[in-house]
Amino acid sequence: MHAVASTWTLPTPDSTQSKVSLIPYPVEVNWQHQDTAVHGPIKISTPYQSDDAGSGHLSNHIAQIFKESRVPSSAKTPAAHYHIQLIEGNVSEARISNEAYTLETKPNGVTITARHPHGFFNGLQTFRQLLYHNGDSLMVAGCKIRDWPAFQTRGVMLDVGRNYMSPDFIKQQVDRLARYKINVLHLHFTEDAAWRLQIKQHPQLTQAKFHWPTRQPGKHYTHEEIRDLVAYCQARHISVIPEIDMPGHSEAFRHAMGVDMQSPEGIRILKEVIDEVVSLFPAKSIHLGSDEVKIRMPEFMPTMVDYVRSLGKQVIVWSPGNQPAKKVINMHWGDHNGHQVDPEMKHLSTIGFYMDWIDSQSGVYQYFFQQPCDVPYGNQNAMGAVTCVWTDGALSNEKRVLTQYPFYPCSLTFAERIWRGAHQARPDLYAKLPQPGTPAYNAFAEFETRLTDHRDKFFKDLPFAYVKQSHIPWRLIGPFDHHGVNDRSFGPEQAIQDSYRDGNRTLTWEHQPAWGSAIHLRHHYSVFNLHQNQVAPDYWPATMNHRVGKGGGTCYALQYIHSPQSQSIHLMFGIGGQWGHSGGYRTARAPSQGSWDFSGGDLWLNDQRVTPPHWPFKSLPWSGWRKGRIEHAPLTEEGYFFRPPVPVTLQQGWNKILVRIPFGWWKEDKGQRKWFFNCVPVSWDGTHYREVDQLQYATTQDHTPNPPQSK
């Protein structure tokens, strides 16, 4: 595990100077240039004779930018009023020269300089974000920019093996991800549940009868669809890395072919599979999986790795997994406990970037404070990172990926971190926000302002369940000993006092407030192996680790909200559980009707209990793969960020919020879950979340909060 730093030295953008919000933020920005209005038609000058000559369809991308901005474009108008000029040239000091660019706005246009079409493309994505409307005028925020990425690989993985996603749906995500300079799409094609890639020599692999009945059986990608998707991605400078998982996660293969991968016949078939895969994907690498399986045939992975390499491709494998030699690229998915990253091997990281293990509000700060590959910048071995969207559970439809997972809030946060890098590793902030006044706090508060600006500007019609939270304080106390009765009532429910007696102990409120809407009292990873009596109370330290240790009990969170008038709002509220990802299916239990959660938590507003909604789901306990909830019951409204927020009324003046957050081993709870809650006022129109304007937050009602919410 990496050493814990106590500061944050990556420069924080000066919000007082920034005219628009940029994600990811460039290496250097000078905002001194004057803003200019765009008057069509548009003139486009590129250094390429044709967009078919390796230019990456740049003219088409420019035209699309202005079409979306409601300004006509034309490359044939010699006397155009606005000139987009692309000039070939080097960018000084750039770490990754092919993706570097400079951008400078001028009174009659913009000039982007780069040495490669990918650099021009990156510059155009930044230019897109510089556009804004002022009345009827389309404006460009005046600036001068110099920019390049910290890491060469910046990827998103979609688990299409467990749940099929249509090519059109994938293209929609590619469009949005490319705008944030994501440059790798990793597709996990094969699983126990299904085999999604057409193999002409072995058509039975994609037949429905060999797929799980709850996982879109028979749905797969033809060669023609793959070639079209690859070309679509290439035009947006995204490489598609296919994963053919072997020899584990291969039940569909075994059923279809009648042989195990770890056999001479299995190897023969897989070589034929690889031949077709190589013909479809021009990317430099192929992912061979290799994890979560008992190796019975020692020569299996070396044989397959050597075969792929003989075809001119590099091999990526999961780590932990089966690593046949140093000639592979390790993709780390566990943590550094139990295995050591070899800095001499090429490697990618997914650590801290598993989207299926997080909620929307805490996921953003977890992603923000990661240090990809444990280095400030990439190098020849530390290649970058991939954020993974594993879909272990059945999905009711492909769009659930955008709601049941915090897809857009965390993808944008990932794009920021992997483009800019991080000077320090801050695992102490993966599960809690820093205290105000620290560089780390200032950095996060500035970023979430940019993030919510993008939510409002670019995601108006899309799920984006995130609101600002860094300005929200909570007072915490506990744990009270509930003696195994999680819903037992304690003193804070009757009256707020400085201290309370609990048996022979005196409990007082924590001296420092906890900041944010998403509060971990103890993180899941601290008790990940509780079933084996292995705990790590200080691992991913949370707000109350020092109090709760590895035990249980009841904690309370207190907050006061000042409203300028009586008003109806909503609360985005949830307690504990881990709905929405693989671990949650195994450990979370559905609350009974009339309860907020299965563990006995509760919520009061102005000393009146807030009534829970009617739950349209029930518990189906974990009973093994292909059994119970994880396979047969897609999630509906289990997670606080993918169900309607609860309507409440704030009175004029101060409003008291009290949350009871217990933890204990009752009702078959195994204890391997987060000790956690999220509570935040939101404005909600049935789809979109926004902050409630003019609210102030405090831990007592005799003063205004510090710091105030910033716009």
Provide the pLDDT for residue 342: 79
Provide the pLDDT for residue 396: 94
φ, ψ for residue 300, nearest 5 deg: -60, -60
Provide the pLDDT for residue 633: 76
Label residues 669-700 b or e (16+ Cβ within 10 Å = b): bebbbbbbbbbbbbebeeebbebbeebbbbbe
How long, in residues, is the chain? 711
Closest CA to 316 of 334, 338, 301, 297: 301
Given the residues 68, 265, 292, 668, the one annotated as active site: 292
Provide the pLDDT for residue 527: 78
Residue whose pair of structure tokens reads 């009765």 in the numeric block: 485
Which residues are paired to 690 by β-bridges? 683
Token pair in block for residue 159: 């688990």
Helix (H, G, I), strand (E, B) or coil at 391: coil
φ, ψ for residue 267, nearest 5 deg: -65, -40
Distance CA 229, CA 649 (A): 49
Token pair in block for residue 650: 């704030």
Vertex 195, ends 189 and 199: CA angle to 5°? 90
**Contact by Cβ (8 Å): 286, 274:** yes
Helix (H, G, I), strand (E, B) or coil at 97: helix
**Contact by Cβ (8 Å): 102, 43:** no
User: How far is CA 77 from its chain centroid?
Assistant: 43
Provide the pLDDT for residue 50: 60
Distance CA 367, CA 364 (A): 5
**Contact by Cβ (8 Å): 338, 529:** no
φ, ψ for residue 462, nearest 5 deg: -130, 155
Token pair in block for residue 510: 């924590």
CB atoms closer than 10 angstroms to residue 537: 16
Provide the pLDDT for residue 190: 98
Contacts of 507 (CB under 8 A, 6+ apart): 477, 478, 480, 499, 500, 501
292 is catalytic: yes
DSSP for residue 493: G
DSSP for residue 44: E
| Strand ranges for 334-404 from DSSP E | 347-349, 382-389
Amino acid letter for position 29: V
Distance CA 45, CA 419 (A): 28
Determine the angle formed by the axes of helices 167-178 and 223-234, rounding to 10 degrees.
Answer: 10
Distance CA 325, CA 332 (A): 15
**Contact by Cβ (8 Å): 451, 409:** yes
Question: Nearest 10 degrees: CA dihedral of 300, 302, 307, 309?
Answer: 150
Helical residues (DSSP H) of 323-476, grouped into ranges? 360-368, 400-403, 407-420, 439-458
Name the stretches of the chain with pLDDT < 70. Answer: 1-5, 50-56, 72-80, 335-340, 530-531, 577-588, 620-632, 667-672, 703-711
Provide the pLDDT for residue 626: 53
**Contact by Cβ (8 Å): 414, 183:** no
Q: How far is CA 697 from CA 353, 423, 435, 472, 640, in A?
A: 31, 32, 15, 6, 21
Helix (H, G, I), strand (E, B) or coil at 283: coil
- Domains of the chain as residue ranges with CATH: 28-147 (3.30.379.10), 153-458 (3.20.20.80), 473-698 (no CATH)
| Strand ranges for 96-164 from DSSP E | 101-106, 109-114, 131-134, 137-140, 144-147, 153-158
| Strand ranges for 135-280 from DSSP E | 137-140, 144-147, 153-158, 184-188, 239-246
Task: Identify the burial level of 607 via C-beta atoms within 10 angstroms of its C-beta, where 0-12 means exposed, 13-18 middle and 19 or more buried.
Answer: exposed
pTM, two decimals, is 0.95
